[in-house]
Amino acid sequence: MLKRNQVFCILLGITVFANVNAQSYFTVASASFSYASKTGVPKKNIYQNENATVTIPFTVQETNKLLIGLNYHRLSLRFNNTNSNQQHYYSSGLNLGYNIKHPNNSLLVMVLMRDNADYTTFQTCDFQLGGAFLYSKNKSDKLVLKAGLYANSEQFGLFLAPLLGLDWRITEKWRAYGLMPQFLNIENKVNTRIRWGLAYQAPTSTYRLSNPVPDLYLQQNQVRAGLYGDFYLTKTIAAQVKVDYPLPAKYRIFTSEQRYDLNVWGIGIGGYRSQQPAPVVLLKNGIIIQFGLSYRVEL
């Protein structure tokens, strides 16, 4: 069975749901850089992540949209107790979705395709295929409830995650939105230019490794909580600063044989992964700082 923090196994591709169903805006494109360092010297960062996404909506009917998205990120780690250079892990993905919207409800269906590896070599086993659906119901002008299911062919086996979410306009200034177990934000709108809030997120990813030896994979588990601020430079372009505290973040390496037959919401069923190796990287007693830029369209 997975340890407690691995219950939150939702991957980057699913964040397209946030673009379409959570906020009062749609994020067309975004780029961000985050890091954690004990020295302040960039080359000595123990954790570093660059991320870029683009999602283009195409109107098929008056209320229905086809979504095509591309995402890329690079994760860089420095292993504990070594003086080695940073090790890099990459993810490139294509997301295809269709959003059907009615006056009181909507349905989003997604197909998620990603190549997650260290890119030393290219193999078919690097490829991950997933999909999801999310149903949203308008309970009132201020509350939308969501439910769905996410599936992905992870390196540790087939992964299934029931999804529960909401978009709640508490007052004119305060809003809560999220899709659990992946993320939850509580946001305050100061004015048309500034928003700030509390954020929880739990990203998990796996990467096929070919270096230094083949037939391994790296698993990232993070549970993060922090503060963020959005600053609108124009009506559509926003800069973001975020400070997260990992609770903690763990990175472990497994062999390709260490897999589950099925994993449901972080609970492993069957297979040959009964033990957890010690983390090769453990982020604790520090913070993760993130800077980002987004192009957004108000809904």
pLDDT digits (tens, 9 = 90+) for 248-286: 778 888 888 888 888 887 777 888 876 777 777 777 666
pLDDT of residue 41: 44
Alpha helices in the chain (DSSP H): 16-21
| Residues of the domain holding 66 | 4-298
Classify strands 87-101 and 105-117 as parallel, antiparallel or unpaired. antiparallel
Contact call for residues 295 and 28 (beta carbons, < 8 A):
yes
What is the domain-level CATH number for residue 157? 2.40.160.40
**Can you give the pLDDT at residue 6?**
36
What local confidence, expressed as pLDDT, does residue 262 receive? 84
Q: What pLDDT sits at residue 16? A: 47
For the entire predicted model, the pTM comes to 0.82
What is the distance of C-alpha 119 from the center of its chain? 20
Distances in whole angstroms, Cα of residue 93 to Cα of each of 8, 96, 111, 214, 251? 21, 10, 11, 22, 21
How far apart CA 156 and CA 222 sit, in angstroms, is 16
pLDDT for position 1: 34
Q: How many domains does the chain have?
A: 1
- pLDDT of the residue at 44: 59
- Residue in this structure with the two tokens 């400070």, named with its chain if needed: 243
Phi, then psi, of 32 in degrees rounded to 5 = -150, 155
**Alpha carbons 128 and 150: distance in angstroms, whole number:** 13
Predicted confidence at residue 65, as pLDDT, reads 92
| 109-124 confidence digits (pLDDT tens) | 999 999 999 888 888 8
pLDDT < 50: residue spans in the chain: 1-22, 39-42, 82-83
Rounded Cα distance between 41 and 45, Å, is 7
CB distance 198 to 227 below 8 Å: yes
Hey, what are 136's tokens?
């949203």
